[in-house]
Structure 1
Amino acid sequence: MFVKTFPEVTADPGIRRQVLSDSPDLMVVAFRFQQEGAEGKLHNHPHVQSTYVESGRFRFTINGESFDVSPGDSFVIPSNALHGCVCLEPGTLVDTFTPRRDDFL
């Protein structure tokens, strides 16, 4: 078994990102939101993304539709969907991407 530790980096103001595991076909990443109001800015990418709310509360927008999520919630963001979130209560999101996001390495 191969275990690699990745550094935690600043993703956006008030947000830390850490790759937890990766392969060419799959990547798992933790996003730690440190303060209310921290924002994952609207963006899109070709990867399919699954998000699991480990802790905290967030308001997500996907293709113009907004919804709130809390611990234990999960959802899928389709390839190329315009999406982002605002932190309502500090916490951690665990995102899975397929294929891997090489821009995070």
Structure 2
Amino acid sequence: MSDYPIVSTGENVTRQVLSDHRDLMVVAFRFGAEGSIGALHNHPHVQSTYVESGRFRFTLGDREHEVKAGDSFVVESEQLHGCVCLEPGTLIDCFTPRRDDFL
């Protein structure tokens, strides 16, 4: 169980750091309702995303992909990305290096 706080990042969306090290961070993003949005953004970190549960439509650069439980993918450094929740669920993101802005 994580000792890090659960932080609201939008309507029906929360973030919780699960573990961190200066070179790596694991974070759970929980989407509680269909239509919840992970806003388009970019960052210098390389990110891998594992869909623990639910279904999402991701924008990665200029392409859209639908993902479901069990899927995973990598977001390159500085790549524009975001998602719309199609079925409530949880995304597990790993960042390298860690996202100090999440601490």
| TM superposition score category, shorter chain reference | over 0.9
Q: Which runs of 5+ in 1 are unaligned?
A: none
CA-CA distance at 1:12 after TM superposition: 1.4
Query: Using the alignment, how far apart are the partners of 2:3 and 2:39 within structure 1?
Result: 26
Match of 2:101 in 1: 103
Match of 1:58 in 2: 56
Q: Which has the higher strand share?
A: 2
Q: Which runs of 5+ in 2 are unaligned?
A: none
- SS of the aligned residue for 1:90 comes to strand
In the alignment of these two chains, the number of paired residues is 103
Summarize the alignment of residues 15-54 of structure 1 with structure 2, pairs less than 5 Å apart: 15-54=13-52
- SS of the aligned residue for 2:56 comes to strand
Match of 2:85 in 1: 87
Match of 1:77 in 2: 75
Match of 1:13 in 2: 11
- SS of the aligned residue for 2:101 comes to helix
Question: What is the TM-score normalised by the length of structure 2?
Answer: 0.97
Query: Using the alignment, how far apart are the partners of 1:9 and 1:42 within structure 2?
Result: 18
Question: What is the TM-score normalised by the length of structure 1?
Answer: 0.95
Identity percentage of aligned residues = 67
Q: Segments of 4+ in structure 1 off by > 6 A?
A: none
Amino acid at match of 1:21: S
